């Protein structure tokens, strides 16, 4: 048991336990914190593997940027206590665990019985030290043979930035092109507003105009009226209740309604 | 045990990968799924660097570097999608978003 | 002359084609004259051919083209005229022309006028090909052609269900006979290597006797269907659903005689087999007797004449069977004229009585339709065999032929059938034209038919009366000498046949004058007896001869006979109904159940499977990811098992 093995064992065990914690935590913030622990431990392992630059990049980029982004999103998104821990889809979980264990066994078998082909490369400790350390060697390596992939990654990052900007635009722009043009409140559905007793003789569908909706609000009294053609025909009717007829005119999908 | 060989790193990588995979398959919160994916990516990174160390080669580290860069871009876009999804469907539960259903 | 032969069938065919293409909108009422003129043209050319044949013993042959050139199997389309054909040509074209003229009047104003004159010349064309053919296959083609035209014409009033059923019945029953005919033709080809008449007949002596008998029987089965012999006659009475000119032409003069012609043409085959001829004579005389008895009990005027046709065809078949070849053809000729005249006359009666056909509602028409009456009377007397009219000469020779052949029982049965012939014929005359009117003359105004209809009647009455004299003196008349080349065997042939113990040919048909006179006297007495009985029953209304009393006396027998000897019921229960049940079974169980069930079952299985498989698409992304993971496990596992050295 050399010291390296011991260090490795400690780092690895903590990383795995933190990884399991990511998957198992109820609170997503707990998952994020566990992921941070994993990343830091992995950075330590990278240092053991003589990849110091990579370790630094791992901490700066992954933990410092990506995980922070994730935490921001967790904050911005309104999430309830999801029912996933209240016993849903046991078959899915069970089969996932079984598949995972089988795959783990297979990969472990492959790893343990592997044979190495080909010749090892030239970059052992002495040559790296002779060339000036890990960063110098990596820099030389990258910029001599891998310039094109670097440019490609740069473009990908640029595209990502632009995409983020596009997706973050406010809602009015998107709804202007393809949003809903009418809002509906169905009084026939139990999930809607509280049931209102309408006077008899009231029409089963009415259109009420509001400024923020282009074609107004259609009120229906039953699920069937919700689907009738007449309920969707959109011409002006007065917004007073009891003001009689069915709306007539063009149906949904016609030029007027677009 | 005994000497530190690449086998150790590979087994670690496999364990982390499987853990991440089970998170993807099992959890319903899309952000936790995203974090599990990051876990899987990191496991692969460990595997790359382990091979590079064993074979005295720089290619593994180079690749891992690129992986980190691409993962960053992917994180940005993925989280943007998550935000758009949450605005649209008002939820982050993937079980609620079943529009692909027959 | 022989190069003009093709005109004989061509002219009616052209008329049929023109009328079918242009008749409906363009020609309309012109279709009738076009068809009539074409058939008269055929008649003219046939007359020229006949005159040529009168003076020469050489047959005329015109080869048109080869229909089937297939190595050993060569079927030419060759028109061949010898004496027998010449006689048939005259019969067909004469009666055909007169019927065409008559039809112009009978069907005037009918909406399907052009259609009638498409089918009628087409029929004439087929019949002419039939008599002009020089090989069995071409004859069979024309045989089917006349059957087809018969179907089309019987079902002319296709809006009547009874007419369409009758047309179907005619065609189907004909086809049953054609099965036998077809097999017979194939057997001929197998045994003699050809279908051309001359080649076949030359080969016959070398074919085994039992095979020749079989061929003879098979060919006769075809004739049974077409010429309405005993088991397959049921279509002929129902064929009266067609217009009367159709009955006159097809079911009196031409199509039904095709079978008789075919057997006469196959003389060398039949001369070589006693057994086939015995069967033919028995079937023929049985048919004659049976149809005669039925005719006495029928009340529809056309039906009586139809059964009379069946009976006379039975006579012709029985003549062929006993070896009286020339009398058979002679009777065919005379029958064509007087039977055609009977049909046309009945058509005139029906037309004049405004479509009334039941004789019980006629009577006393003599004074309203004199021309019809007198021509009808001549034809009826000819049919009954009153001397010196046509029917006597031919029918008497048949009886003499039976005597010569020593078939005495058959001869006696034939005489009984002749008695019934006279009985029903004069019954028709007296019921229809004599006595008091059994209808109200103020409601139905019977009138004589237009000239277009009565002139053919008169023109037909002349041969019906006098054509018997072509066979005078008996056994040695003009027709005997004219047709004898067809029915004699040349020397080598005869020697070969004689070694098979066959009967003598027609040339050795000698009998003493005394016998002839005696048998002639007996026939005349029988005919007069029939006349006297009907006279007493219907004119004098003598109580001893009251038909209703006799009908009651015979009770069950009368019912049996008047129901056509229950043949229709027999066929219905024995054949038609089981076939119907079988086809319903095939429909319900095999087609709808098994076949449709299999197809629907496949669709059902597909539907069921896809219904189950669609549950894979849960819409839940984690399930899809699980599937991917599962796939990864399987692939890695497969790799391990097959491509790595882990388990090797």
**What does the pLDDT look like over C443-452, one tens digit per residue?**
777 888 888 8
Instruction: Answer whether C617 sits within 8 Å of B99, measured CB to CB.
Output: no
Q: Which of A121, A142, A158 is the last residue of a domain?
A: A121
pLDDT at C108 over 90: no
Q: What value does the mean pLDDT take over residues C173-185?
A: 92
Q: Tell me the nearest-neighbour CA distance from B51 into chain C, angstroms.
A: 20
Q: Tell me the nearest-neighbour CA distance from C611 into chain A, angstroms.
A: 21
Q: How far apart are CA C240 and CA C160, in angstroms?
A: 13
A95 near C CB under 8 A: yes
Contact C463, C330 (CB under 8 A): no
Mark whether A154 and A203 lie in a shared domain.
no
What pLDDT is recorded for position A178? 46
| C-alpha triplet C226, C254, C16: angle, nearest 5° | 105
Q: Which of A53, A86, A121 is the last residue of a domain?
A: A121
Would you kindly state where each structural domain of chain B is located, as residue ranges?
A: 6-88
Better pLDDT: C528 or C515: C528
Q: Which of residues 30-49 of A touch B (CB under 8 A)?
A: 31-32, 35, 38-39, 42, 45-46, 49
pLDDT at A246 over 50: no
pLDDT at A252 over 70: no
SS (HEC) of chain A: CCHHHHHHHHHHHHHHHHHHHHHHCCCHHHHHHHHHHHHHHHHHHHHHCCCHHHHHHHHHHHHHHHHHHHHHHHHHCCCCCCHHHCCCCHHHHHHHHHHHHHHHHHHHHHHHCCCCCCCCCCCCHHHHHHHCCHHHHHHHHHHHHCHHHHHHHHHHHHHHHHHHHHHCCCHHHHHHHHCCCCEEEECCCCCCCCCCCCCCCCCCEEEECCCCCCCCEEEECCHHHHHCHHHHCCCCCCCCCCCCCCCCCCCCCCCCCC
What pLDDT is recorded for position A42? 95
Q: How far apart are CA A21 and CA B16, in angstroms?
A: 11
Contact C271, C503 (CB under 8 A): yes
What pLDDT is recorded for position A72? 92
A179 near C CB under 8 A: no
pLDDT-derived band at C288 (thresholds 50, 70, 90) equals very high
C492 near B CB under 8 A: no
Q: Which of A134, A168, A202 is the last residue of a domain?
A: A168
pLDDT-derived band at C365 (thresholds 50, 70, 90) equals confident
B14 near A CB under 8 A: yes
What pLDDT is recorded for position C621? 80
Mark whether A164 and A193 lie in a shared domain.
no
What pLDDT is recorded for position C71? 84
Look at the pTM and tell me if it is higher than 0.80: no
Contact C36, C100 (CB under 8 A): yes
Chain A CB contacts of B88 under 8 Å are none
Contact A103, C629 (CB under 8 A): yes
* Identity of the residue in C614, C621, C626 whose CB atom sits nearest the CB atom of B94: C621
Question: How many other β-carbons are positioned within 10 Å of the β-carbon of residue C126?
Answer: 26
All chains having 3 or more CB pairs closer than 8 angstroms to chain C? A, B
- Number of independent structural domains in chain A: 3
Q: Token digits for C619?
A: 């819409």
Class for the domain spanning B6-88 = mainly alpha
Mark whether A48 and A108 lie in a shared domain.
yes
Better pLDDT: B62 or C515: B62
| Alpha helices (H) in C467-512, listed in sequence order | 478-483, 491-498
What pLDDT is recorded for position B83? 86
pLDDT at A229 over 50: no
User: Which of A115-129, C221-235, C484-498, C518-532 is predicted least confidently?
Assistant: C484-498
% of residues, chain C, pLDDT over 70: 96
What pLDDT is recorded for position A224? 59
Mark whether A66 and A127 lie in a shared domain.
no
Chain C CB contacts of B21 under 8 Å are 629
Do the interacting molecules here have an ipTM over 0.95?
Answer: no
pLDDT-derived band at C647 (thresholds 50, 70, 90) equals low
Q: φ and ψ at A219, to 5 degrees?
A: -105, 130
Chain C CB contacts of A106 under 8 Å are 633, 636-637, 640
**What does the pLDDT look like over C410-439, one tens digit per residue?**
888 989 999 999 999 999 998 888 888 787
Mark whether A92 and A144 lie in a shared domain.
no
User: Which range of residues forms the domain containing residue A59?
Assistant: 3-121
Better pLDDT: B91 or C503: B91
What pLDDT is recorded for position C18? 92
**What does the pLDDT look like over B54-86, one tens digit per residue?**
888 888 999 999 999 999 999 999 998 888 888
Q: Tell me the nearest-neighbour CA distance from A73 into chain C, angstroms.
A: 21
pLDDT at A56 over 90: yes
Which candidate in A91, A99, A101, A115 is best for mutational testing of the C interface (most C CBs within 10 A)?
Answer: A99
pLDDT-derived band at A240 (thresholds 50, 70, 90) equals very low
B5 near C CB under 8 A: no
Mark whether A132 and A220 lie in a shared domain.
no
Q: Which residues contact A215 (CB under 8 A, 6 or more apart)?
A: A181, A182, A207, A209, A234, A257
What pLDDT is recorded for position A190? 53
pLDDT at C612 over 70: yes
| Alpha helices (H) in chain B, listed in sequence order | 6-26, 30-55, 59-89
pLDDT-derived band at C408 (thresholds 50, 70, 90) equals confident
Q: Among all residues of chain B, which has the CA nearest to that of C613?
A: B102
CB–CB contacts below 8 A, A to B: 231
C-alpha distances in angstroms, B71 versus A33, B45, C156?
19, 11, 89
Question: How many other β-carbons are positioned within 10 Å of the β-carbon of residue C68?
Answer: 12
Mark whether A109 and A129 lie in a shared domain.
no
User: Which of A189-203, C5-19, C138-152, C231-245 is predicted least confidently?
Assistant: A189-203
What pLDDT is recorded for position A171? 64
pLDDT-derived band at C369 (thresholds 50, 70, 90) equals confident
Instruction: Answer whether B59 sits within 8 Å of A121, measured CB to CB.
Output: yes
**What does the pLDDT look like over C17-33, one tens digit per residue?**
999 998 888 877 888 89
B72 near C CB under 8 A: no
pLDDT at A227 over 60: no
Q: Which residues contact C321 (CB under 8 A, 6 or more apart)?
A: C277, C278, C279, C280, C281, C282, C283, C284, C410
C614 near B CB under 8 A: yes
Residue A15: which CATH number? 1.20.120.1200
CB–CB contacts below 8 A, B to C: 31
Mark whether A7 and A112 lie in a shared domain.
yes
C624 near A CB under 8 A: no
| C-alpha triplet A161, A167, A170: angle, nearest 5° | 125
pLDDT at C36 over 60: yes
CA C452 to chain centre: 27
Mark whether A106 and A156 lie in a shared domain.
no
Mark whether A22 and A97 lie in a shared domain.
yes
């Amino acid at each position: 048991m050399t010291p390296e093995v011991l260090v490795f064992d400690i780092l690895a065990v903590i990383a795995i336990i933190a990884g399991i914690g990511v998957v198992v935590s109820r609170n997503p913030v707990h998952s994020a914190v566990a992921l941070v622990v994993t990343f830091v431990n992995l950075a330590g392992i990278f240092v053991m593997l003589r990849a110091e630059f990579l370790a630094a990049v791992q901490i700066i980029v992954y933990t410092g940027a990506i995980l922070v982004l994730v935490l921001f999103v967790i904050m911005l998104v309104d999430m309830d206590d999801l029912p996933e821990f209240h016993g849903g889809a046991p078959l899915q979980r069970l089969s996932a665990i079984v598949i995972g264990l089988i795959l783990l066994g297979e990969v472990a078998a492959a790893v343990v019985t592997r044979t190495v082909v080909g010749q090892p490369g030239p970059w052992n400790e002495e040559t790296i030290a002779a060339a000036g350390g890990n960063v110098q060697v990596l820099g030389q390596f990258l910029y001599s043979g891998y310039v094109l992939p670097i440019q490609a990654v740069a473009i990908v990052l640029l595209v990502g930035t632009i995409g983020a900007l596009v997706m973050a635009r406010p809602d009015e722009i998107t709804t202007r092109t393809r949003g809903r043009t009418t809002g509906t409140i169905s009084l026939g559905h139990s999930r809607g507003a509280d049931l209102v007793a309408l006077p008899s003789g009231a029409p089963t569908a009415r259109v009420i105009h509001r400024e923020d909706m282009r074609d107004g609000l259609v009120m229906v009294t039953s699920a069937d009226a919700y689907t009738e053609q007449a309920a969707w025909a959109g011409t002006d009717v007065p917004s007073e209740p009891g003001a009689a007829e069915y709306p007539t005119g063009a149906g949904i999908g016609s030029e007027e309604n677009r | 045990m005994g000497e530190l060989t690449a086998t150790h790193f590979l087994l670690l990588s496999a364990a982390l990968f499987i853990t991440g995979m089970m998170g993807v398959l099992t959890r319903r919160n899309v952000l936790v799924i995203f974090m599990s994916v990051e876990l899987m990516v990191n496991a692969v990174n460990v595997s790359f660097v382990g091979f590079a160390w064993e074979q005295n080669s720089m290619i593994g580290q180079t690749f891992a570097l690129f992986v980190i860069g691409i993962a960053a871009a992917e994180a940005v876009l993925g989280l943007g999608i998550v935000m758009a999804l949450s605005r649209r469907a008002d939820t982050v539960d993937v079980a609620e978003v079943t529009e692909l259903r027959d | 002359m022989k190069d003009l032969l093709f005109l004989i069938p061509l002219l009616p065919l052209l008329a049929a084609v023109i009328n079918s293409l242009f008749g409906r909108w363009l020609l309309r009422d012109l279709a009738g004259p076009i068809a009539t003129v074409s058939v008269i043209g055929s008649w003219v050319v046939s007359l020229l051919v006949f005159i040529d044949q009168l003076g020469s013993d050489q047959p005329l042959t015109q080869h048109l083209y080869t229909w089937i050139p297939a190595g050993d199997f060569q079927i030419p389309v060759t028109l061949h005229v010898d004496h027998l054909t010449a006689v048939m040509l005259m019969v067909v074209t004469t009666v055909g022309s007169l019927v065409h003229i008559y039809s112009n009047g009978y069907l005037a104003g009918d909406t399907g006028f052009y259609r009638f004159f498409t089918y009628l010349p087409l029929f004439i064309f087929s019949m002419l090909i039939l008599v002009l053919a020089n090989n069995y296959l071409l004859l069979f083609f024309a045989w089917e052609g006349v059957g087809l035209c018969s179907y089309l014409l019987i079902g002319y009033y296709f809006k009547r269900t009874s007419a369409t059923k009758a047309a179907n019945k005619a065609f189907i029953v004909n086809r049953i006979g054609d099965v036998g005919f077809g097999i017979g033709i194939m057997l001929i080809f197998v045994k003699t290597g050809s279908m051309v008449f001359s080649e076949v007949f030359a080969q016959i002596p070398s074919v085994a006797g039992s095979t020749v008998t079989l061929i003879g029987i098979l060919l006769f089965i075809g004739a049974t269907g077409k010429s309405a012999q005993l088991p397959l006659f049921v279509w002929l009475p129902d064929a009266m659903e067609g217009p009367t000119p159709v009955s006159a032409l097809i079911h009196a003069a031409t199509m039904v005689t095709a079978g008789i012609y075919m057997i006469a043409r196959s003389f060398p085959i039949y001369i070589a087999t006693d057994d086939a001829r015995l069967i033919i004579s028995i079937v023929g005389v049985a048919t004659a007797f049976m149809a005669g008895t039925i005719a006495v009990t029928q009340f529809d005027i056309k039906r009586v004449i139809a059964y009379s046709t069946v009976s006379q065809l039975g006579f012709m078949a029985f003549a062929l069977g006993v070896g009286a070849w020339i009398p058979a053809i002679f009777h065919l000729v005379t029958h064509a004229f007087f039977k055609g005249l009977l049909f046309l006359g009945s058509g005139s009666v029906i037309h004049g009585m405004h479509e009334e056909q039941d004789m019980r509602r006629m009577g006393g028409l003599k004074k309203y339709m004199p021309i019809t009456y007198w021509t009808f009377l001549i034809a009826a007397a000819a049919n009954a065999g009153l001397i010196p009219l046509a029917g006597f000469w031919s029918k008497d020779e048949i009886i003499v032929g039976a005597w010569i052949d020593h078939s005495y029982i058959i001869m006696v049965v034939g005489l009984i059938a002749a008695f019934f012939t006279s009985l029903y014929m004069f019954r028709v005359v007296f019921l229809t034209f004599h006595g008091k009117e059994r209808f109200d003359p103020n409601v139905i105004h019977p009138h004589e038919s237009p000239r277009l209809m009565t002139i053919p009647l008169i023109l037909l009455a002349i041969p019906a009366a006098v054509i018997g004299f072509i066979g005078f003196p008996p056994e040695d008349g003009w027709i005997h000498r004219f047709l004898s080349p067809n029915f004699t065997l040349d020397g080598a042939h005869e020697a070969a046949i004689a070694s098979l113990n066959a009967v003598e040919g027609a040339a050795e048909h000698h009998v003493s004058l005394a016998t002839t006179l005696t048998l002639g006297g007996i026939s005349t007495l029988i005919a007069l007896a029939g006349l006297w009985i009907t006279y007493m029953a219907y004119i004098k209304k003598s109580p001893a001869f009251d038909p209703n009393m006799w009908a009651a006396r015979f009770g069950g027998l009368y019912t049996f006979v008047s129901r056509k000897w229950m043949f229709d019921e027999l066929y219905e229960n024995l054949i038609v109904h089981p076939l119907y049940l079988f086809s319903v079974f095939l429909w319900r169980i095999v087609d709808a159940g098994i076949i449709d069930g299999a197809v629907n079952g496949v669709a059902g299985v597909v539907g069921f499977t896809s219904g189950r498989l669609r549950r894979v698409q849960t819409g839940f992304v984690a399930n899809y990811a699980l599937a991917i993971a599962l796939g990864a496990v399987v692939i890695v596992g497969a790799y391990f098992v097959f491509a790595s050295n882990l388990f090797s």
